[in-house]
Amino acid sequence: MNQVRSVLKHFIAIEQSEGMGARVRRSVGTHEMRKFLPFLMLDHFTVAPPAGFPDHPHHGQETITYIIEGAVAHEDITGSRGVLRPGDLQFMTAGRGIVHSEIPVSFADNRASKGLQLWVDLPEKLKNTRPRYRDLRREEIPTAKPNENVSVKVISGNSYGVESLADLAYTPIHFYYFTLNKNNVEFEQGFPKDFNVFLYVLKGSVSINKQVYPQYSAVFFKADGDSIRGVSSSENTEFAVIGGRILDQEVVHYGPFVETSKSKLIQVIKNYQEGKNGFERAQYWTSSISNGIDESRAKKILQQSNLTF
């Protein structure tokens, strides 16, 4: 029988400003939970034009972006570009260095784009790997349905016997999106014992060990078992459960630059300023979406990959 993990810490993620006019609820990466290795940050974002995250650099980490509503376009200095629709994800490895832009698509009805963005630390030996992208389309994500009241998008890992695609990120990550459609529905999710695990409530509330955690709660678990277990406490509940292999290394970061020592971090910042070691084009590159992208242009980009909204 699985050993159920106990709760380490919990709090409500408070909304704050980020980027150019975006609003985020940050759980990992706040003073309540500065880091939870391998995780550096989790933002539950809401962003609508003209707000966004225009051209900016990254080094030494991976980002995982999951779109819930609206659509977000991305473009980078390597020439990669695309549009993420509701249910799509992007796994981006910044590695030694990348500059990119993330801009919400402008729709006629002025809808906002909403989603989750997770920052994952890279193992020290992979800090200077080459950048790479992997767009995971909603059509590629299997769904586990253990009963009529539970649905799980198996983004990465295995839930109720349903396996995801493999090799999405360098750092081993398990990512599940649960939807429970009535009150008092049980759920359980297994994890390796060497993973740090947390849960974030996007809608409704959950109960774990008879304590109720309402909407926007971040719940962090101790590494004292191989599963988490709870029940829904509302009629419609949605939450993400995320785990990753624990990294035993120092974390020194300045904004989107992440390293294992102050001296290495200083060198990375210098590389960015001087346009070298991964940032060769950073000084003169400007994305074509930095001033916005409308629905018609987004559709054309999707059509190039035989996709539609």
End-to-end CA, the chain: 43
Query: What digits encode the pLDDT tens for the residues 254-292?
Result: 999 999 999 999 999 999 999 999 899 888 899 999 999
To the question of whether residue 100 is assigned a binding role by annotation, the answer is yes
Q: Distance (Å, rounded) from C-alpha 49 to C-alpha 107?
A: 9
DSSP classification of residue 112: P
75 marked as part of a ligand binding site: no
Assign domain 7-245 one CATH number from 3.40.50.1580, 3.40.1190.20, 3.40.50.300, 2.60.120.10. Answer: 2.60.120.10
The pLDDT tens digits of the residues spanning 64-107 come to: 999 999 999 999 998 889 999 999 999 999 999 999 999 999 99
Spell out the SS3 assignment of 9-23: EEEECCEEEECECEE
Q: Tokens at residue 63, please? A: 């980002």
- Chain mean position to CA 127: 19
List the structure tokens of 98. 């990348």
pLDDT of residue 167: 78
Whether residue 230 has pLDDT greater than 80: yes
Q: 106 CB contacts (<8 Å, ≥6 apart)?
A: 49, 292, 293, 294, 295
Q: Which of the four pLDDT bands, split at 50, 70 and 90, describes residue 298? A: very high
**195-203 and 217-221 as β-strands: parallel, antiparallel, unpaired?**
antiparallel
The answer to the question of whether 56 is labelled as a binding residue is yes
Amino acid at 74: H
In this predicted structure, the answer to whether residue 1 has a pLDDT above a threshold of 80 is no
Tell me the three state secondary structure of residue 140.
Answer: helix
Report long-range pairs for 161-166 (Cβ below 8 Å, ≥24 apart).
165/136, 165/140
The residue written with tokens 């707000």 in the block is 51
Q: Give the model confidence (pLDDT) of 122-168 as tens digits.
A: 999 999 999 998 899 999 999 999 999 999 999 999 999 999 998 78
Phi/psi of residue 220, nearest 5 degrees:
-105, 140
Q: Compute φ and ψ for 179, nearest 5 degrees.
A: -130, 120
